[in-house]
Chain A
Amino acid sequence: MTNKTINVKYLARVEGEGALNIRIKDDAVTRVQLKIFEPPRFFEAFLQGRNFTEAPDITCRICGICPVAYQMSSVHAMERALGVTVSAPVRELRRLLYCGEWIESHGLHVFMLHAPDFLGYQDAIQMAQDHPDTVKMGLQLKKVGNDIVTTLGGREIHPINVRVGGFYKAPRKQDLAPLVERLKWARDAAVKAVRWVGGFDFPEFQRDYEFVSLRHEQEYPFNEGRVVSNKGLDIDVRDYEAHFAEEHVGYTHALHSTLKERGSYFAGPLARYNLNFDRLTPLAQATAREAGLGPVCTNPFQSIIVRAVEILYAVEEALRIIEGYERPEQPAAPVTPRAVTACAATEAPRGLLYHRYRLDDNGVILEAKIVPPTSQNQKVIEEDLFQFVGPRVALPEDKLTWQCEQMVRNYDPCISCATHFLKLNLERL
């Protein structure tokens, strides 16, 4: 009979600081705790008293990897509540900006953070010694994403060009033109990336998840759509808090988010893919099928394939937007503040990102609430580990620990976001 504790003190290759603690007694898992000990920064508190126009610049500082997501959720919240409609080219530019962030963030995770697990390397630098061309291709793909964000937003981290109502300055058609050849290269590279990760060995693991993401009438979702699940949820985002709750548990600085009716749920690329496969481009669908995925995938280890498919989609979408782009007459729509409650959700690279603000008549923020993807996935990660470790308790400690880390990295957790991270502690008692 085995009693032990798996203890990962600092979980590597995730963004931010966290730990994992798994207790095993008499060959059975008795406790799994994903501990996020990233120090809290209290964004929701210090947003109180700031102008609504400052929300995109302040909230993007929650996360250096997905700043665009915070900017998009905040501006869409304000605009929905204040009755602002942006022009068609501005709407397209926002999708383009999000394409850049998905390519950059997924590129980082697929090549630098997750692939080394499947091939047995400590990191991508070590992996580059045996797979130099693939690592270089991954870095260049990531760079294409960053170049989109930089062209449109001024810089890749904390872009400066996003405002409530639109942009400060809309690019000219010729500003975007140099991206086209790079994106055509990226389209071929993304197809290769899907094939490469599709050839990895995946542990057998399936669960009956509730997947939650946005769904839009025509498009693969970035900024708009209803909040839907595979178990019947279909709501406008204004009803989000009637269906979702946040719980403060003692061992983690990130609040646990659950569906009030049914408990844990799964947000992120896998959820988006499963709920929106029909909205992908024909090439993205065909490349996914070629890599062994159907329209629904329930093995979280295969999320690396889905991320690569989403890179391909985002590259194609970026090409479509740039080719059809005409510069808007005005970079932003006028915005007049009033006392309202504003909310919106957009699809961050890691999943649904919900923002709510209460404003006074002058547009000063009285209250803010932000629910990032990682706090939504914490509970499902813990449940996955509970089920995953059970049949594997006899594995050598180092191997089991590594596989548990890999399981956590399936979710690309972003700890800075969620605390507003990860140590693995495997206890065999």
Chain B
Amino acid sequence: MAPKRKPRLSVWKFASCDGCQLSLLDCEDELLAVAGAVEIAYFVEASRAMVKGPYDLTLIDGSITTAHDAELIKHVRRASKYLVALGTCANSGGIQALRNFKDVNDFVKAVYEHPKYIETLKESTPVSAHVKVDYGLNGCPINKHQLLAVIQAFLEGRPPMVRSHSVCIDCKLRGNVCVLVTGTPCLGPVTHAGCGALCPTYHRGCYGCYGPKETPNTAALAAWFSQRLGMSEANLVRAFRAFYANAPAFRQESEAHDK
């Protein structure tokens, strides 16, 4: 009997800071074990060896912001059996989706001397706006332990188990004093867990970098910020229009205050 082939892993970068794919290289204790369990077939940041598809597991880092990338993602999808979108960029468009609220031509002119050299789309969009995504792991950046759990679930042929509650639950589990109650604006009640409630643990309010949780009541939280903490409409817009600006729940809430 022929030996079973190791699953082929590919990692692709689109518009991003690189942090989510770096998370794999940041698994210092587990990286060599992962490399033993899969064939790293395409991972440009880590290797010169670039093996053509098909790939069994594909990780996508980054959002789609150019016509070239909109074509490339289709090619990557065709070559991939199971495709995982990593982080806010691949799942919602990232911080660069702030362009979606403005005229991108103004952005080009603000940064570049010769706008005609720059090729870019009007909006920064998630991978799911272009192709089918099999699983989305959120965060800015993702939690590397959750990434390992997703890879392990794939290798075991089962769906990943990532908890979908809010940051608030993690705060309670850590025994933190609620920063919102003590007067600090905190997006924890509407934000997806995964970071371990880091910001409140460090005595600051959550700024929503894991994106909206399922069914978030953003309007109630915005009302609290406004009525009890005296937050201005401009700051409400900024609070919801940041690392997950383009995620529908946060987008709607920021637009409700952007008059």
Partner-contacting stretch, out of B74-82, B95-103, B161-169 = B95-103
User: Which chain B positions have C-beta within 8 A of A126?
Assistant: 47, 49
- The answer to whether A44 and B120 have CB atoms under 8 Å apart is no
* CB <8 Å contact, B17 and A61: yes
Given contacts A44-B111, A112-B25, A420-B111, contact A405 B48 (CB under 8 A): yes
B185 to chain A, nearest CB (A): 12
B199 touches A160 (CB 8 A): yes
Contact yes or no, B18 A16, CB < 8 A:
yes
A81 interfacial contact with B, CB 8 Å: no
**Per-residue 0/1 for A30-74: is the Cβ within 8 Å of any B Cβ (1 yes, 0 no)?**
000000001111101110101100100110011111010000000
Closest residue on chain A to residue B199 by CB atoms: A160
Residue of A nearest to B119 (CB): A39
* Choice from A45, A156, A168 contacting B26 with Cβ under 8 Å: A156
Cβ distance B34 to chain A, nearest Cβ, rounded Å: 9
What is the CA–CA distance of A57 and B199 in the complex, to the nearest angstrom?
12
B residues within 8 A CB of A350?
none
> B225 within 8 Å of A by Cβ?
no
**B79 → A minimal CB distance (Å):** 15
A122–B51 CA distance with the chains assembled, in angstroms? 12
> Could you list which residues of chain B lie within 8 angstroms of chain A, going by C-beta atoms?
13-20, 22-23, 25-26, 28-29, 31-32, 35, 40, 44-50, 65-66, 69, 94-96, 98-99, 102, 104, 106-108, 110-114, 117-118, 120, 124, 140-141, 195, 198-199, 201-204, 207, 209, 235, 238, 242-243
Contact partners of B243 in chain A: CB under 8 A? 61
A292 within 8 A of B: no
Q: Are A17 and B98 neighbours in the complex by a CB distance under 8 Å?
A: no
The A1-21 residues at the B interface (CB cut-off 8 A) are 10-17
- Cross-chain contact of B46 among A64, A123, A247 (Cβ < 8 A): A123
- Is B28's CB under 8 angstroms from A140's CB? yes
- Min CB distance A129 to B, Å, is 10
B44, B69, B209 pick with most chain A CB within 10 angstroms: B44
Q: How far is the CA of A125 from the CA of B94 in the complex (A)?
A: 30
Q: How large is the interface on A (under 10, 10 to 19, 20 to 34, 35 or more residues)?
A: 35 or more
Residue numbers in A under 8 Å from B15 (CB-CB):
38-39, 41
CB<8 Å pairs between A and B, sample of 30: A12-B46, A15-B45, A16-B13, A16-B18, A41-B94, A41-B95, A42-B104, A42-B107, A46-B96, A46-B99, A46-B107, A51-B235, A54-B238, A57-B207, A62-B17, A65-B19, A67-B19, A122-B47, A123-B40, A125-B35, A125-B46, A126-B47, A128-B35, A139-B31, A140-B28, A160-B204, A168-B199, A168-B203, A253-B118, A416-B18
| Other-chain contact of B28, A46, A142, A154, A161 (Cβ < 8 Å) | A142
The distance from the CB of A307 to the nearest CB of chain B, in whole angstroms, is 16
Q: How far is the CA of A358 from the CA of B132 in the complex (A)?
A: 43
If A136-B32, A250-B117 are given as contacts, then 17 extra A-B residue pairs at C-beta distance below 8 Å, sorted by A number, are A11-B44, A16-B13, A17-B44, A39-B65, A41-B15, A42-B111, A45-B99, A46-B99, A51-B238, A54-B238, A126-B49, A139-B28, A139-B29, A146-B28, A154-B198, A248-B117, A255-B112
Q: If the complex has contacts A39-B65, A42-B108, A142-B28, are A125 and B18 also in contact, measured as CB distance less than 8 A?
A: no
Interface residue A169 (Cβ < 8 Å from any Cβ of B): yes
Contact A45 B203 (CB under 8 A): no
A410: shortest Cβ distance to chain B, in Å?
16
Contacts of A16 in B (CB 8 A): 13, 18
Q: How far is the CB of A227 from chain B (nearest CB, A)?
A: 23
A 105-129 to B, binary, CB cutoff 8 A, 1 in contact else 0: 0001000110010000011111010
Q: How far is the CA of A125 from the CA of B114 in the complex (A)?
A: 42
Nearest-Cβ distance from residue B202 to partner chain A, whole angstroms = 5
Bound form: Cα–Cα A168–B203 in Å: 6
The answer to whether A112 and B141 touch (CB under 8 A), given A125-B40, A128-B32, is no
- Smallest distance from the beta carbon of B186 to chain A beta carbons, Å? 12
Name B15's closest neighbour in chain A (CB-CB): A39
Assuming A42-B111, A122-B47, is B95 touching A61 (CB within 8 A)?
Answer: yes
Residue of B nearest to A122 (CB): B49
Asked if B140 contacts A61 (CB within 8 A), the reply is yes
When A122-B49, A157-B22, A420-B111 are in contact, do A41 and B198 touch as well, CB less than 8 Å? no
